[in-house]
Amino acid sequence: MCDKTGEIGFNVAMIWIWIAFIVFILAMLAMDLGVFNRKAHAVSLREAFAWTGVWVSMAMAFNVLIYFMYQHHWFGVGQTVGEQLTGSDAALKFFTGYIIEESLSLDNIFVIALILAYFRVPQAYQHRVLFWGVLGAMVMRGVMIALGVALIRHFSWITYVFGGILIFTAIKMLLAKHDNPDPDHNPLVRLAKRWLPVTDGFRGQALLVRENGRRMMTPLMLVLLTVESTDLLFAVDSVPAIFAVTTDPFIVFTSNIFAILGLRSMYFALAAVIEKFRYLKTSLMFLLGYIGVKMLLIHHYEIPTVASLGVIAGILGTGVVASIIASRRDVKAGE
């Protein structure tokens, strides 16, 4: 009886840890939007790299906290709550999951750049729409992670389904191309247009306005809906990917959220040059394929996390180096 009471206490404490993490993230987002980016402005390259450094540093600092939480079993973490992991195992899994999610976010940047270009969104308004896009993505990822964890715990064979999804996505990436998005064929955008009319142009940073006594959407709302719908599709790929590393819900959720938080600053830092990394998409294809195979093998042979991290680094590094070499050859050929 005493043991059960203690376990309940640990679970209640873990709930408070979840609440504290979510409150912290929301507070940081509030400071980002309400203090540092209160006024609409075009994000400079220097500012984008600075914020990228901030989010990455916060993720690495949290990784240190993960180590101590699991190493010393604070509130039963890594013992009676979540997976039974040592501090080093938990920290390595968090870091690997973070790298995977951050890498897969690079494909998001390609699509976001196309969406913003399609709508001709002024640079001063891009940060605001991506902010709300990130907030919506956090909610969607949370729901999908909770569903994924529940499915894996009740149906162990679901890992084969997740592995198949990743391999199918890798093949689809190999065959498909990122054409200019057509919002008129986006179901979410078409549904929204049935409910509200759209203004003839942007109205500053506003998503909704009232004109002539009517509530109307601005084109910025259509941009947000398009971004959110594409992120939902990407989440179907990226969320199963991290389950190849761990099924601990706290590690899965926190690593995912930190990767999403860095997406906006990464976009502003890399959007102008990411097209030059022509083989990066190919690297992501092989990355998804590897993770898919890892999930298919997970009940027969579990590839060590350290080995997976090395494979991931090798795949991404090869894509970057190949892109740089190809770009230099193009420059020489044009001289």
Tell me how many domains the chain contains: 1
Q: Which DSSP state fits 77?
A: B
- Residue range of the domain that includes 292: 2-334
Q: How far is CA 23 from CA 17, 18, 27, 101, 287, in A?
A: 10, 9, 6, 22, 33
Mean pLDDT of the chain: 81
Q: Give per-residue pLDDT as tens, 277-333.
A: 778 888 888 888 888 898 888 878 888 888 888 998 899 889 889 988 888 887 777
CA separation for the pair 159, 178 (Å, rounded): 28
70-91 burial, b if ≥16 CB within 10 A, otherwise e? bbebbbbbbebbbbebebebbb
CA separation for the pair 69, 247 (Å, rounded): 17
pTM higher than 0.85 for the full model?
A: no
Q: Give per-residue pLDDT as tens, 18-58.
A: 888 889 888 888 877 666 666 767 777 788 888 889 899 99
Q: How far is CA 29 from CA 10, 60, 138, 264, in A?
A: 29, 18, 12, 12
